[in-house]
Amino acid sequence: MGKQNAISNTFGEVQLSYKKKLQIQFRCIKSSSDTSKVIRQILPISQINYREHFYALYLNNKNEVIGYHLISVGGITATMVDIRILLQGALLCNSVAILILHNHSSVDIQIAQALFLKVIVVAQQRIISKIDGRHIA
């Protein structure tokens, strides 16, 4: 292969960081009420009726919170979520479970607070199956 046909492969180094910066008062998640106590320490309550937020709480095998991530902040009526960003946090902190939290800012503040506490527990296998659109039973 001549010099003219040689292909130059350049690529970047991936650097990851995981910082322990928030000391939460309640770590073990056993119910939606427990999740409420944790997320209220993370999300500034003054923003709950301002814009839509999408958070992920990452748990270990004892259902203890080992990390959290603000996945996206949207507008008044919607927010976009990229599943790859959600998975990055899960993989970085070696979580075995993910709690997904989302508020609805366009409604009454009391209703918005209640809706924000709606929690969906997602198994990692199901998340991974959604990346390429395949369903894994």
Q: For residue 38, what pLDDT is reported?
A: 83
* Per-domain boundaries in the chain: 32-131
Per residue in 47-62, pLDDT (tens digit) is 777 788 888 988 888 8
Q: For residue 123, what pLDDT is reported?
A: 39
Q: For residue 80, what pLDDT is reported?
A: 87
Q: For residue 121, what pLDDT is reported?
A: 42
**pTM > 0.85:** no
> Contact at 8 Å (CB) between 119 and 34?
no
Residues (pLDDT < 70) of the chain are 1-8, 13-26, 105-137
Homologous superfamily in CATH for domain 32-131 = Cytidine Deaminase, domain 2 (3.40.140.10)
Q: For residue 66, what pLDDT is reported?
A: 87
Q: Mind giving me the DSSP string for 29-93?
A: --SHHHHHHHHHHHS-GGGTTTS-EEEEEEE-TTSBEEEEEEEEE--SS-----HHHHHHHHHHT
Q: For residue 128, what pLDDT is reported?
A: 46
